[in-house]
Structures are given as structure tokens and as C-alpha cells.
Amino acid sequence: MNMSEQSKKLIIALLTALITFAIAFIILNAVQAALLGIIVLLVALWSNEALPMAVVSLLPIILFPAFGIIDTKTTALNYANPIVYLFFGGFLLAIAVEKSGLHRWMAHHLLNLFPKSAKGVIFALAFTSAMLSSLLSNTTTTLLLMSMGLFLSTIPKIQMRYLLAIAYGASIGGIITPVGTAPNLILLGILGEHSLPVVPFVQWVVMVAPLAFVMLGMMGWVLGIGLANEPSHASESHPPLTPPQRKVLTLLGELMAVLLVNAPIRPYWNGLGLAEEGVMLTFGLLLFLPQLNLLDWIEDKGKIPFRIMFLFGAGFAIAKAFSDTGLADTTAQSLGVLGTLAPWMIILAIAALITFTTEITSNTALISVMLPVIYSFSIQNHFDPLLFMMVATISSSYAFMLPIATPPNAIVMSSGVIKIKEMAKYGMILNIIGIILIVLFAHFYWENFI
């Protein structure tokens, strides 16, 4: 990006923020209008990349106190939210998986579980992408698997569907664990801020994994429509586990065992009471022990996505400002008419709103803004906020129509074998299926846990 283009994008973002402030000032008080203007500025800069993500994410520490929204200390504390360290520990484990090559071993064995026909490979790639994305970032997963999707066929129509299976699988799989994608972590942070019980790791998986697997099945079926059962390239043989891979796999197994034992199963077992943020960080730091020798700080620190950690901090700061300025309550009051609807209709409205809005904006920024609003709306109308907040969070990961909706969509679009109209066609179908499934699971299944 040349300097003039970058300057134009910066000017456009500033003008958009000023126009938003001017319009909001007519309706809201000065502080709330300033907050809206700053949020629009941040979202615009995150979207057009006029400034680096990390720089934009640190702006609230300067802008919020400058405009009297919340003070510096209150703003900065959000960048040390315990959820940030949950992510940090999880990403250290992800770096070890990638560095040791364990992801290739996992992908090979997962691919071999499915038939070698074109339809079978679609399911295999989707399932593999989902499983890896529940541990790695969906961006990393898509980058790792894209070359495999292109290799497994030479027919452009089939390559296109393979790549869509990888991208969509990464988005679907990110919801399986609390650390799979940014909106999940934003939800956990906001729950802690409002002194609500944080969903334990194991309970999260039990609640959400069935939805993800059904969605994977529906996605594979949609992408497989019209494909002949022609054979595809067989996956290559893979050597046995190396010592580093075995160490990482053992550590992951031990982590899951600790999380399982730590999870309460009431009224029979209250769990160990360990903070999951501390557990995840502990296992991440164990990777640096000389006895394991899996990570080296000097060699591997460049792979740690500090910019994403700053992004989380910005998200928590936005949510805090939304609550403290009363803007969340004001917005929730404007949604008061929804309070007269049946709960399943409210769930449907939230799922549809978030799913389609995420197509054109960052899901992290959107969830940071919407979760405080949904919390206030729930409290004002005497609903349990966790169910509606969970619906919004999961819906923000289920945007399949446009390249800008999610990083996986953008990555596979860069391959040149997918046209926007093809992604939009399949994505629209999957958006609707996702909304329906989220409503059904939330109304008939999640309510048993919440």
C-alpha cells in the first residue's frame, strides 16, 4: 500500500467517524456520541488496514480518556483481562503443534477416515479443518490445508468446493472450544466482567460440539450436491510420530485430562476449582522447559500474535465503555419491542442479525459492541443473558457469504479458483442453515445447561 492510498483510507475512516458522531450527537449525549464515533473509527481502520491492527487496537487507551468516556486505568485494565492469558497459553500450544508438524500427522489420519471420492474428500477436509481450527487459529488452519485442497484434484469445480470446505470447516470448528476463535474469548471476558458464571471448557464443548458436527454434515452435503463419486488423489503415507510430536500430543492429552477433571458435574462433582486461564497458561509455559525443549523464546516469540492479544483488549475496552456510558442500556431500551416476543423468536432475531451483519464487519468488533447490548436487553426484560449472548457469539462465526466476512473466506478466495458469486451462493444457503440450527440447539438443547 503506497502512502497516498494509506492516507486516503485514514481520511475516509476519520470522516466516517465524524459523520457518525454528528448524527449520534443529535440523539445521544456527548460522551455516548463520542464513543460511537470512536468505535466506527476503530472498525473502519481495522477493516481498511490504513494502520496496523496492533496500533489500531491500542488507540482506545488514548481516545477513551481523551474524550471523557472512561479513564486510562479502567481502559488499560481490559488489556490484562484473564481471558487474554487463556488465549496466550492456547496459542503457545498451537505454535508447538505447528512447529512439531503434529498438525500434518493429525490431518493425514483424519483424511484417511473418509472415502477417497470427491464427496468423501469434501467431508474429510471439512472435518479436518474443523478439528484443527478448534486448537489452532482458523487463519492458520486454512493456510495449512489450502495447498492440500488444491492438490487433491485438478478439476477447477472440485477444487473450488474443496477450498470452500476448508474455509467453512475452519469457521465451524472454531466454535468447538472456548479458545477456538476470538468472539468465544470475548464472551468469556464479558461474563467475568458482569460476575456471571463462566462456561467451563468441558461444558462448552458438550454444548457446542454437537451443533458444529451437524453443521459440518450439512455443509458437506451442500458442497457435495451434483458431484460424481469420482476418485480423488489418495493421501500420501505419513511416517510415525517423531519424539517432539509425541511430546506435544502427550501434553495435549494431559491438558484435556486436567480440564475434564476440573469441570464440575453437579451435583456429583464440583470440579477442582482451578482457573482455566491459569491451567492453559501453565501448559503453554511448560513447552519452554529444557526437559521438553519444544519451544524457544528467542526462536518462537515472533509467532506469538501479540496484535490479536491487543485486539482482545480493545474488544473488552469497547464492551466496558458501552456499559459504563449507559449506551448499552440506551440501545437495549430501543430493542424493547423484542421483549414481548417468545424466547425462540428473540433467539431467531439475534442469530439472523449477527450472522448477516458479520458478513460486512469484523466479528470481534461486532461481538464487543453487541454483547453488552444483549446483556442489558436481557436484564431489562428479565431473561437469562447467557443464552442470548451465547447465540450471538456462535452466530458471529457462521458468516459464509463474502470474502471479507472471515479470514478463511479471504484466504481461499486468494487461490483464484473461487468466484464471489459461488461463495455467496453456497454461503447464503449455509447462513440460513446455520441460523436455523442455532435456534433449534439454543431452544431445545442449550437451555438444559443454562
How far apart are the C-alpha atoms of 74 and 325, rounded to whole Å?
A: 13
For range 5-34, the mean pLDDT: 91
Tens digit of each residue's pLDDT (9 = 90 or more) over 325-374: 888 778 777 777 777 788 899 999 999 988 988 776 667 778 888 898 89
Q: CA 365, CA 311: separation in Å to the nearest integer?
A: 9
Give the pLDDT mean for 364-392. 87
Q: Is the pLDDT of residue 29 over 60?
A: yes
CA-based nearest residue to 123, from 149, 105, 156: 149
Q: What is the pTM of this model?
A: 0.71
- The candidate with the shortest Cα–Cα distance to 369, out of 384, 389, 351, 385, is 389
Q: Which three cell numbers stand for residue 167?
A: 474455509
* pLDDT tens column, 275-309: 778 888 899 899 999 888 899 898 888 888 788 78
H-state helical runs in 304-396: 306-324, 327-334, 343-358, 363-380, 385-395
How far apart (Å, rounded) are the C-alpha atoms in residues 141 and 99?
A: 13
Q: Quick one: how far is CA 314 from the chain centroid?
A: 15
User: What's the mean pLDDT in 256-274?
Assistant: 72
Residue 234: pLDDT band with limits 50, 70, 90: very low
Q: Do the beta carbons of residue 182 and residue 308 sit within 8 Å?
A: yes
Query: What is the band of 218 on the pLDDT scale with cuts at 50, 70, 90?
Result: very high
Question: What count of residues does the chain have?
Answer: 450
